[in-house]
Amino acid sequence: MVSVSSSAAEELKAAIRGELLRPGDAGFDEARSIWNAMIDRHPALILRCAGVADVRRGVAFARDNNLPLAVHSGGHNIAGTALCDDGLVIDLSPMKSVFIDPVAKRAYVEPGATLADFDHEAQAFGLATPLGINSTTGVAGLTLGGGFGWLSRRYGMTVDNLISADVVTADGELLHASADSHDDLFWAIRGGGGNFGVVTRFEFALHPVGPLVYGGLVVLPIDQAKNALLQYRTAAEQMPEELSVWAVLRLAPPLPFLPPEVHGKPVIVFAMCYTGPLENGPSVVEAVRGFGTPVGEHLGPMPYAMWQQAFDPLLTPGARNYWKSHNLDKISDGLIDALLDAIGKLPSPQCEIFFGQIGAQTSRVPVEATAYSSRDTQYAMNVHGRWDDASDDERCIAWARAFFDAAAPFSLGSVYVNFMTQEEGGRVADAYGPNYARLVAVKNRYDPHNLFRHNQNIRPAA
């Protein structure tokens, strides 16, 4: 354990524009609480940054005092990388600015902004970029790991829409990374996580989306799930890229359009978003409605920003969460059998397994174009264990691992880095596949002493 002298801490406090929190200070415990309640870490200091100068000061302080360093933006990462024990947390959450240039179709986004912050500003001009599916997620962590959501089949991964970024590196420099400047660093941050520095501003390309999209949910009873999944995998090959359909298997939440007798029963939910002409929406999603006989459905035009928040009630902070994930190029018969077996053994009402459909535009980018390499992924499958009571940890984690193991033979062997839990450091090379060696070379150049290691770590060769 490295201790920080009070004089060093006072010196740091005097040098920043933001706020320095220490254990016992008002707001400290709130600042060290993150989305996944399984993560309980105790930093020595939390630096709530007001701007780039504070970030640079914080990086230098951690480096010069040999402190563990963690970087907190949205605090949503399942592995809890936003926190460290006995070190310094650079908390970017106060830096929430989002500036939209509607003429150039560009967004300039600070690292504390959430998806909701981004969408709020961009949708005022009917613009968007591919982001995730939970509005409280931080833009920074999502982007650095690759990023995908409802718009990805049409417009690619989040990183495919990143134009440039400002990065504070381990030596405290502020670099502008783009295709024309520090292009090796720009390549690496597009999927390589927080391994290379602290991004203080992102520049994204924007696309015309909304403000209304067509979408919603179709809910089928679990006894129709096998047949529905067989139809889904066939229909997916013909779906227009303006349409994204995800499959979610879980116990039915008490949604107002579901009859009370369905609540708490196992169901398969097809969640969909269509960004083409609104009047075409009903005919485009008609095939999905025919996957079975729904016990309930809720479809129609809705604000894109509202759809981006539709799953927030199922993903509130404060629950215990454990994920296991595989990338898939198809949904195999054997996988469906293993899936239905796992859904028959759900250990808590909040657990679910979902298939996030991507492909289309995400698959057209060359593997070597960005650090994110899983361009053959058609579905990112996530086993989402979620529960409230610590006494259920063992049971719920065992369920997630059992299905993960059963599904492994049907997977690509790769994994989406943002879905990896804290004990999965051994899968980092799998996450980057053929791009891993090049990432190590970039790490050697920009962070040879591995200051940025509280992440899914790419270790420098030295």
One digit per residue, the tens of pLDDT, for the chain of length 462 reads: 567 889 999 999 999 999 999 999 999 999 999 999 999 999 999 999 999 999 999 999 999 999 999 999 999 999 999 999 999 999 999 999 999 999 999 999 999 999 999 999 999 999 999 999 999 999 999 999 999 999 999 999 999 999 999 999 999 999 999 999 999 999 999 999 999 999 999 999 999 999 999 999 999 999 999 999 999 999 999 999 999 999 999 999 999 999 999 999 999 999 999 999 999 999 999 999 999 999 999 999 999 999 999 999 999 999 999 999 999 999 999 999 999 999 999 999 999 999 999 999 999 999 999 999 999 999 999 999 999 999 999 999 999 999 999 999 999 999 999 999 999 999 999 999 999 999 999 999 999 999 999 999 999 997
66: burial class by Cβ within 10 Å (0-12, 13-18, 19+)? Answer: exposed
Structure tokens at 89: 């947390």
**Yes or no: domain 6-91 corresponds to CATH 3.30.43.10:** yes
CA dist 307 and 215 (Å) reads 8
DSSP secondary structure of 264-287: TSEEEEEEEEE-S-GGGHHHHHHH
In the β-sheet with 379-387, what is the strand arrangement from edge to edge?
Answer: 296-303, 212-221, 266-274, 243-251, 352-357, 379-387, 320-328
Amino acid at residue number 437 = A
Amino acid at 47: L
The pLDDT of residue 1 is 57
According to the model, what pLDDT value does residue 462 have? 72
Query: Which of the 8 DSSP states describes residue 245?
Result: E
Q: Where in the chain is the domain with CATH 3.40.462.20?
A: 212-419
CA distance 311 to 316: 9
User: By C-alpha distance, which of 51, 53, 200 is closest to 140?
Assistant: 200
Q: How far apart are CA 441 and CA 103, in angstroms?
A: 38
Buried b (16+ CB within 10 A) or exposed e, 294-308: bbbbbbebbebbbbb
Tokens at residue 449, please? Answer: 């002493």
> What's the CATH number for 98-209?
3.30.465.10
Q: Return the number of other C-beta atoms located less than 10 Å from residue 399's C-beta.
A: 21
Return the H-helix or E-strand segment holding 141. Answer: helix 139-144
Q: What is the location of CATH 3.30.465.10 in the chain?
A: 98-209
415 sits in the region (left: phi over 0; alpha: psi -120 to 50; else beta) called beta
Nearest alpha-carbon partner for 279 in 214, 355, 211: 214
Amino acid making up residue 12: L
**Consecutive H or E run containing 306:** helix 304-307
> What's this model's pTM, rounded to 2 decimal places?
0.97
Has domain 212-419 been given CATH number 3.40.462.20? yes
